[in-house]
Structure 1
Amino acid sequence: PPLEEKYGSRTLLGGILMTAAISGVLQCLFFPGSALLGASGIVFMLIMLSSLAGMRSGTIPLTLILVAALYLGQQVYGMLFVQDQVANFMHIVGGVCGTVFGFAVRRR
């Protein structure tokens, strides 16, 4: 709800659809023989977007840096060193989409 209040329902829906489309295309390109289940990439998009919610003009919030280091760093580690059935790459894609979307919406 706080993100919906800040960005509006339609804008937030646009970010969710953008993230889903980009994740789907990248999944088909890089991992054509596997399927995904869930919306964890969108959750990571919302996490990164929420870290940008208090951003002022011309500054990068400390929360963005901390969230990127902790959450996305954990995903990079999991992708490289942990063998499980988690789509770490799609989590990273979702986080990048949330960051790019947050900066793009702020400029409008």
Structure 2
Amino acid sequence: MQLQYNSPVVLTYTFICTIVLLISSFMPPVMSLFTVYPTMSLTNPVDYFRLFSHAIGHGDWAHLFGNFTLILLLGPMLEEKYGSANLLTMMFLTALITGILNVIFFSSGLLGASGIVFMMILLSSMTNLRQGRLPLTFLLVVILFLGKEIVNIFQNNNVSEFAHIVGGVCGAVFGFMEGGNKK
């Protein structure tokens, strides 16, 4: 039996995030490159990089494992359905949108792949989208997802429910735009 690099975007993303966390364990300042901060200098190129690189950084191993359990479960199916380039574009746009909105509206930093996780959750619930039909599974996921995040907003937990919600909205928008189309 031969190993297959079956999902290049998802696997490469997983390895990059793991390597960044490993390096930051020995060199903590590295993580500042992978955190979007609440203020941004329009003349600092690193701040533009952080708008999407925050989705690579993770606070600790539990944070990384929590996110990549779902990414490794959902990502290969989505990469097969939509293609590597489309999935990479969706991940990049989700990270960029959550980064920009965090700078505009919040006074806290942001790091982690949670927005991408929730983009994948809602996008995967739309895999059976057909012309003129809305999957009941999509509606149930939206209701459960939004309900949980709205309840969690009122907890002091160092989790950006906002990023989860924005990621989910991105997944829904991408799903409707793709209309269930394959690559």
Question: Normalising to structure 2: TM-score of the pair?
Answer: 0.55
Q: Which residue of 2 aligns with 1:62?
A: 136
Unaligned runs of 5+ in 2: 1-75
Residue 27 of structure 1 aligns to which amino acid in structure 2?
N
RMSD: 1.3
Aligned residue number for residue 78 of structure 1: 152
Aligned to 1:36: 110
Structure holding more helix per residue: 1
Q: Which shows bigger deviation, 66-75 or 46-55?
A: 66-75
Work out whether 1:17 is the aligned partner of 2:92.
Answer: yes
Aligned to 2:171: 98
| SS of residue matched to 1:86 | coil
Partners of 1:37 and 1:28 in 2: how far apart?
12
Name the CA distance, whole Å, in 1 between partners of 2:173 and 2:162. Answer: 16
Q: String of CA shifts for 1:16-46, please: whole Å, max 9, x gaps.
A: 1110110010000001x32112110000000
**Greater radius of gyration (CA):** 2
Q: After the TM superposition, which parts of structure 1 deviate over 3 Å for at least 4 consecutive aligned residues?
A: none
Q: 1:97 to 1:87 in 2, by over 3 A?
A: same
C-alpha spacing 1:42/1:71, structure 2 compared with 1 (3 Å): same
1:14 is aligned with what amino acid?
A: T
Local SS of the residue matching 1:24: helix
Helix, strand or coil for the counterpart of 1:44? Answer: helix
Post-superposition Cα deviations, 1:53-106, rounded to whole Å, max 9, x if no partner, equal 011111110111111111221001111x32221100110000000000111112
Question: What is the CA–CA distance in structure 2 between the aligned matches of 1:106 and 1:10, rounded to whole Å?
Answer: 17
Which 5+ residue runs of structure 1 have no aligned equivalent? none
